[in-house]
Amino acid sequence: FGVSHLEKFDPGHVSKNISKDFTKFSASHKTVEVFNDKTQKIEKIERPFWGLNASLSMWLWSCFAEENIDKRTKMWENCVYHYVGNHSFCEPHNYKCFEWQKGVNSIQLQFMLYDWVHKWTPIVSKVSSIGSTCMNEAFNSKIACYLDKSRAWKNINTRVNVAILEWNDPEHFLGDIQKALHLPPLPEDCVKSFAENCYSKMILKQKTVTKGSKKQNKYKKSIQSVPGGDYQVFKSEWESEDEDIDDFD
């Protein structure tokens, strides 16, 4: 329909997908045979891509911050040259970086990493630089709770409206509906049960936010401890754990 150029992806989700794919890529190349130009022999390199995760994370989020798509894609694909000490296309403040020693010594490994990076270029170019879509997803999830597939579709407008009311004012939306429809007051037990449920959700949300904040701080400290690396504060969700994330295939 001619709107594909308007498609945008959430930076957090893309970061997780790229992280997951890089973990698979690195694990599938635990040992790589490369030709040594100096010795004219084939050598085995163990774990050639180990140690790039954290640095790629910071690089990726700096690319997301660039609004110009052409510049962003060039930045993303330039990371391979950046890691082997070729800073011809870098800004001056990017000269100090993690040096990928195994890549410096092998052009074959550089080509392998570049092929992987280039595979993700179309996705990186479509990441939104405005912000996250997490709130949209949470709102859509709330609507989905009310759209029971076993019910008739003629009720969809009413159910979406109820979801909107709960989203805007979760503590009082039932009372607002009751007043608007001129219904009798709800039984006291129902009101009490609903209030307790709202309180439980609020506590759970606070715990989730606190847990996420602690995890992010732990991540920042781990990056800051990398020798020779210059740390920049980005909201990174670069993780190596296996998660149920949809790939952008």
Whether the Cβ atoms of residue 247 and residue 24 lie closer than 8 Å to each other: no
pLDDT grade, residue 208 (50/70/90)?
low
Where is average pLDDT lowest: 66-80, 160-174, 181-195? 181-195
pLDDT grade, residue 124 (50/70/90)?
very high
pLDDT grade, residue 183 (50/70/90)?
confident
Sequence letter at residue 117: V
Task: Say what the pLDDT of residue 229 is.
Answer: 43
Q: Which two tokens stand for residue 105?
A: 């010594």
Task: Say what the pLDDT of residue 120 is.
Answer: 94
Task: Say what the pLDDT of residue 122 is.
Answer: 92
Residue 226 has pLDDT above 50, yes or no: no
Other Cβ atoms less than 10 A from the Cβ of 18: the count is 23
Q: What are the CA-CA distances from residue 52 to residues 2, 37, 47, 225, 242 (Å)?
A: 38, 24, 11, 15, 18
- Residue 223 CA from chain centroid, whole number: 17
pLDDT tens profile 184-201: 877 777 767 766 776 666
Mean pLDDT of 21-30: 91
- Candidates 205, 211, 210; CA nearest to 170 is 205
- Candidates 51, 50, 61; CA nearest to 10 is 61
Residue 93 has pLDDT above 60, yes or no: no
Domain boundaries, the chain: 7-124, 134-215
Give the C-alpha separation, 175 to 180, whole Å: 9
Give the C-alpha separation, 103 to 84, whole Å: 6
The better pLDDT of the pair 51, 226 is held by 51
Residues in the chain: 249
Residue 70 has pLDDT above 60, yes or no: yes
Q: What are the CA-CA distances from residue 66 to residues 7, 16, 162 (Å)?
A: 17, 19, 39
Check: pTM over 0.95? Answer yes or no: no
Q: What per-residue string of b and e applies to 101-126 under the rule 16 or more CB within 10 Å gives b? A: ebbebbeebbebbeebbeebeeebeb
What mean pLDDT, rounded, does the chain reach? 75
Q: What are the CA-CA distances from residue 115 to residues 10, 44, 80, 100, 109 (Å)?
A: 23, 20, 10, 16, 10
